[in-house]
Structure 1
Amino acid sequence: MRLAWRAAGLTLLTAGLLVSCADGRPAERLGERGGGVSSHGKAVTAGTELATESLRLFQEATSVRLTTAQGVEKTSLLMDREGNCSGTYDGGPMRRAELIVVAGEGAAGSGEGAVYIRYTAQALTEVLTEARRRGPATELRVKPRVDKIRGKYLKMPDPDGAFTSQCNLAVGQKSLPFEAKGLSAGKPTERRGVRVIPLTSKDGPRAALYVAASGPPHLRFATLASGEELQFSSYGKPVTAEAPPAHLVVTLEELGAGTGAGLGGGLLDA
């Protein structure tokens, strides 16, 4: 199950590798920016100001959607500062699901958070295919589990807040470093249909930030030197993370499955 929350931790990773925040004059917030940058000095000044303002907006956001893609793994989670999040995870065969993480008081109080996982139809088909490949005994054990969970949510308790802490925007916001020197602002461009201004470091364009070219300069994309990309969107959008109706929830005990192998694999556990 740990893989399902890996993307939330990438917020911290990106912040540590790419971005920073220093005292400086806020960038212009209306109209499109960046077109007049013509010299290296001006580009660095503009880049520092835009990075400063974009990170301030990120730190103040009540919610943000983080979308990542690395290899076969694709994650899109809308998370808030309380540890609630909802979205989707696609880790390849057998590991495709809708996720809802509901924050609780955890170890700090009497409330208990929980994570709800609803496998996609494709994932369940892949689980059955793998069960058949392993032999009749495995298929006989796994098919009833798949029938029970199809269209429903598997509930996993989170009494100590382990899941919600990884789905907490506030954790990423508090972990940002506070320095923004050396980022150069480029000319406005379009990335995945969004008008943005690239902010590149001395490491080159593969490690860069992209902030909105018009309106508030929200951080919209970040790329790592490895080629991995993170997308940020839906600033301030309320997170709908509520426990599903009881008749749509199946517990681990009811399912009779293990959890050690993660999404999909747990259904195959003895």
Structure 2
Amino acid sequence: MSVRRTLTASVICAMTVIGVAGCSDDESSDQPFQGQSADEVAAKAVTATRDATSVRMAGKLSAEGQPLTVDFHVDTQKNCEGRMAMQTGAADVIHTGQATYVKGDEKFWENAAQGSAGGEKKARALSGRWVKVPVGDSRTTGLCDKQGFLADLDSDKSERKGMTKGTVTTVDGRKAIPLRKKKGSGETITMYVATEGKPYIIKLDQSGGKTPGSVVFSDYGKPVKATPPPAGKVVDGTKAGTAS
């Protein structure tokens, strides 16, 4: 499974639905962003989020029919630290410089080694240990490519109409205005945009449909503390599993 593809389908494509093309407008005189349509507010939020030097994304999604929990802090230089967990295992991930390190449980490595000879034995040996994985391994490194998957915000230029503004609320301690879109499949997508400071995306909810989920965006612009594990505690998976 490509984690980046899963996140793109469950979160970033949902942003795309909101972030481009014409939207309807429920404008009222006592709301922020007066004189701006829902589409204009969403476009500004997409741009601000994409241009931020760093962001933390934490929440629960649906990946191939099973729940996926993610909590990742990433920046534009692909520095990254975080954790993902699903029924097929959990793993901590660090990416800094040109290296990615993963510390997964036994289930995680069993799933990663499916179909390979001695997979169960390898999974037991790697469980709970930091493993340096090949650069470009989409199961993990895709999560650390902020600019890569946020670029998908503008990838779908098909018809996007029917958004409305909601009433200002508080999300993660910040005031935000919800921008909501209902789709024919029974799916509802809601983007919460900060009404103070830069119009960052604060939260994205997707209910109904096949990929429900909710992700909170925070820690914009804060340095990502991605420190490599001690070399003596790393298994170098780029060299057939020899210790680095």
TM-score (norm: length of structure 1): 0.63
**Paired AA for residue 185 in structure 1:** K
| Aligned equivalent of 2:151 | 174
| Aligned equivalent of 1:265 | none
Matches within 5 A, 1:175-254: 175-177=152-154, 182-191=162-171, 194-203=174-183, 206-225=188-207, 226=209, 227-252=212-237, 253-254=240-241
Contact 1:102 1:242 in 2 (8 A): yes
Find the residue that maps to 1:224 and give its secondary structure: strand
**Structure 1 residues 21 and 61 mapped into 2: Cα distance closer, same or farther (>3 Å)?**
farther
**Structure 1 residues 79 and 231 mapped into 2: Cα distance closer, same or farther (>3 Å)?**
same
Greater percentage in strand: 2
**Identical-residue share of aligned pairs (%):** 23
| CA distances 1:75-109 after superposition (whole Å, capped 9, x unpaired) | 1111222223210011125x112111235xxxxxx
In structure 2, list runs of 5 or more residues that go unmatched. 23-27, 109-117
Q: 1 CA distance for matches of 2:53 and 2:198?
A: 15
**Paired AA for residue 249 in structure 1:** V
Q: 1:58 aligns with which of 46, 49, 63?
A: 49
| Count of equivalent residues | 216
In structure 1, list runs of 5 or more residues that go unmatched. 23-33, 104-112, 128-136, 257-270
Offset of 1:173 from its aligned partner?
3.8
Q: 1 CA distance for matches of 2:8 and 2:152?
A: 13
The alignment status of 1:117 with 2:111, answered yes or no, reads no
Q: 2 CA distance for matches of 1:138 and 1:198?
A: 46
Q: 2 CA distance for matches of 1:118 and 1:188?
A: 40
**Structure 1 residues 219 and 65 mapped into 2: Cα distance closer, same or farther (>3 Å)?**
same
TM-score (norm: length of structure 2): 0.68
Matches within 5 A, 1:1-270: 2-3=2-3, 6-7=6-7, 10-20=10-20, 36-37=30-31, 45-69=36-60, 70=62, 71-92=66-87, 95-103=89-97, 113-119=98-104, 123-124=105-106, 141=121, 145=125, 149-150=127-128, 152-158=129-135, 164=141, 167-177=144-154, 182-191=162-171, 194-203=174-183, 206-225=188-207, 226=209, 227-252=212-237, 253-254=240-241
Find the residue that maps to 2:226 and give its secondary structure: coil
Find the residue that maps to 2:216 and give its secondary structure: strand
**Paired AA for residue 218 in structure 2:** S
Q: 1 CA distance for matches of 2:233 and 2:5?
A: 22
Offset of 1:46 from its aligned partner?
4.5
**Structure showing greater Rg:** 1
Offset of 1:6 from its aligned partner?
3.7
Greater percentage in helix: 1
